[in-house]
Amino acid sequence: MERSAVFGGLQPNYPLYPSRNSSSLPFSDHRTRLPNFSPPPSLSLKLQKQVSSCFKAVSPFKRGAAFSDIHSETFELADIDWDNLGFAYVPTDYMYTMKCTKGGNFSKGELQRYGNIELNPSAGVLNYGQGLFEGLKAYRKEDGNLLLFRPEENAMRMIMGAERMCMPSPTIDQFVDAVKATVLANKRWVPPPGKGSLYIRPLLMGSGAVLGLAPAPEYTFLIYVSPVGNYFKEGVAPIHLIVEHELHRATPGGTGGVKTIGNYAAVLKAQSAAKARGFSDVLYLDCVHKKYLEEVSSCNIFVVKGNSISTPAIKGTILPGITRKSIIDVARSQGFQVEERLVTVDELLDADEVFCTGTAVVVSPVGSITYKGKRVPYGKEGFGAVSQQLYSVLTKLQMGLIEDKMNWTVELS
């Protein structure tokens, strides 16, 4: 039967195949596999059987299919306004799910149509906040291929966070393979070159029912994606921060150093108040001395003075950002002296430049800091010289515009 006949009943906004022109993918030396594909439940039983039969023969989503086996239909980019992408939720085509029991191992993940999930009201994530998330991006190159940026770092950070939150975690290979599968299944949602990126959100949660305070008996690993533009409404223009000295994001011995979901709910009160006053976001101080910088609500902070760049050291209350780590390496390769140490508010107010880093923001220049009613501006409008240099190098690496001597990117065809 012709494929057009088999898939004729599907909505055109939900293609079942990535590109026919895909070649074997230049991944690392381990084989990457995609799991089962489940036909959408809205299809008739007859059509579901046809879809399943066809997928057994040619689908890149069948169990045991290596990426090198993928040959699929021509795709078209999603019909959205690529010139006006913000950082907001846009539903896409597929998500990836994988489960395991307490004390077990994750296995048999699968791609599913993107949609709502079902959770028991007594799920560990709902009652006790037993959950983590990650964030990374895929970019489209000029030749149409896609680039992931350091996905193994996200996998390792999730493993570290899962240990802290008493959860099992996918292995690095499982994590990276699932990311690749999800991106390829949603490749039409990756923005054109220079228009944005595909934000990838892996979740790990205690999905099993538990009443008393204890680790959940079952866990779900899930990945969904959304095309995004700039995180802050200012775009790449400078953002304006207020230093919060009463409310705190994290405490020593707590969970501030892992990407658990509760860390982010805790900043909403101060962030909402700051935005109501016209600020872009909040910069938090340590909760003991109330004078050392920690981080902004969802990104790390850097202070520039001359040829020296300083950022708060990772000591359990600050998230070890992957963009932070990358910027440190890029800065050192560009001849800057980088220090990871305690950084005081006084140093911040006396800086030549200040900028933030994060997966969502990439590199964002800070235009002003307000501390206890005093506003300190930094330079002219736009990037400072140092942050501009680092932003340029990092984004060119992420988008495949310069040679990746760091071996940070993973290319998908």
Give the residue numbers marked as catalytic. 259
Q: Tokens at residue 84, please?
A: 């006006």
8 A C-beta contact, residue 303 and residue 273: no
CA torsion, ordered 289, 290, 296, 299, to nearest 10 deg: -10
